[in-house]
Amino acid sequence: MALTAALVIGAGVAATVIDIRQRRVPNVLTMGVASLGLVLAMAGVGDVTLGGALGGLGLGLALLLPAHVFGATGAGDVKLLAAFGALLGPAGVFDAFLRAAILGGVMALGVALWRGRLRETLYGTAMLVTTRNKTVTALIEHPAANNRFPYAPAIALGAAMAVLGW
């Protein structure tokens, strides 16, 4: 438990700092964490079995991949959650995902408020959810809309909360 917590927190801090500074989560970090999770599971040192590590990796990928396909997250975010899944297993990565989704929503509201775009963001989100209109999606994702923000902090905090049982 302590080793897994240290790895999740350490990787989460690194991913957060890099994502805030460079707006990306590097493959060397995500693949390193995923590989380490699988090696620990194979050696019987981690908190999950090899099957649990593979299941967590796959579930982490499956949970966030649709958001990437629709343009809501970057590929590095997807790989980060999958990598945490290799350490946390299916139940842990699902908990991390739920916490990250809530934290990400709170962060999005805070960013929109900070940027003076709260009304536009809420309206665009409501239109997207109710109409699934591709024009609305294009407007939300347009670079001039200034809606993007690093999502690795939400994933990292969600994973840390899950591994610590919070």
* Cα atoms found within 13 Å of the Cα of residue 131, Cβ hemisphere only: 11
> What's the chain's average pLDDT?
88
Report whether pLDDT(76) > 80.
yes
Which pLDDT tens digit goes with each residue over 82-135? 999 999 999 999 999 999 999 998 988 888 888 887 887 777 777 766 776 666
Per-residue pLDDT, averaged over 136-156, amounts to: 71
Of residues 7 and 1, the one with the higher pLDDT is 7
CA–CA distance from 105 to each of 6, 10, 13, 76 (Å)?
Answer: 26, 23, 20, 18
State how far the Cα of 145 lies from the Cα of 161, in Å rounded to an integer: 31
pLDDT at residue number 38: 97
> String of b and e for 95-120 (b: at least 16 CB within 10 Å)?
bbbebbbebbeebbeebbeeeeeeeb
Q: Which residues touch 40 (CB under 8 Å, ≥6 apart)?
A: 3, 4, 46, 53, 87
Which pLDDT tens digit goes with each residue over 20-30? 999 999 999 99
CA–CA distance from 74 to each of 22, 45, 136, 142, 151 (Å)?
Answer: 13, 31, 19, 15, 8
Written as six digits, the tokens of 17 are 């700092």
pLDDT at residue number 113: 86
Of residues 67 and 70, the one with the higher pLDDT is 67
Confidence band (pLDDT; 50, 70, 90) for 136? low
Q: Among 9-23, 59-73, 117-131, name the one with the lowest average pLDDT.
A: 117-131
Per-residue pLDDT, averaged over 133-155, amounts to: 68
* Structural domains of the chain, count: 1
Report whether pLDDT(46) > 90.
no
The residue segments making up the domain with residue 85 are: 2-164
> String of b and e for 60-86 (b: at least 16 CB within 10 Å)?
bbebbbebbeeebbbebbbbbbbbbbb
Written as six digits, the tokens of 25 are 């989560």
State how far the Cα of 159 lies from the Cα of 121, in Å rounded to an integer: 26
